Amino acid sequence: MNDKAHRVPERLQDIREAITNARSDLGALSKEEFLADGKTQRAVIESLIVIGEAAKLVMRLDPDLERRSPDAWQQFRDAYDMRIVLTHEYFRVDAAVVWETVKNDLPQVNALIESLLG
């Protein structure tokens, strides 16, 4: 296995860990509580940034993933696009979208990660 092939599972683990962190940081907060809690928003956003950066690296290290698993590729592409907004267009960040992402999208991403790690 070459160096690139070794690095993909490491980045997938990074994504899994960041998903765990985001969900843990959100905890049992209601949407309204989350929207009023800037500290938790910043913690969750940091995890989403990590997910997006790791997703970008996976796509770069394993471009054949797009053919093998188009669903995973699209999720990684979306995560990377969100990272761009969170880091470079922070004035456009909508905390409600962050909430929905953690609640609705991260479980799907986590399932994809599990299937890729086998």
Active site residues: 83, 88
Residue 64 and residue 66: Cα distance in Å, rounded?
Answer: 5
Residue among 69, 71, 79 nearest 16 (CA): 79
Residue 98 and residue 106: Cα distance in Å, rounded?
Answer: 10
- Other Cβ atoms within 10 Å of 52 Cβ, number: 24
Residue among 34, 74, 35, 76 nearest 52 (CA): 76
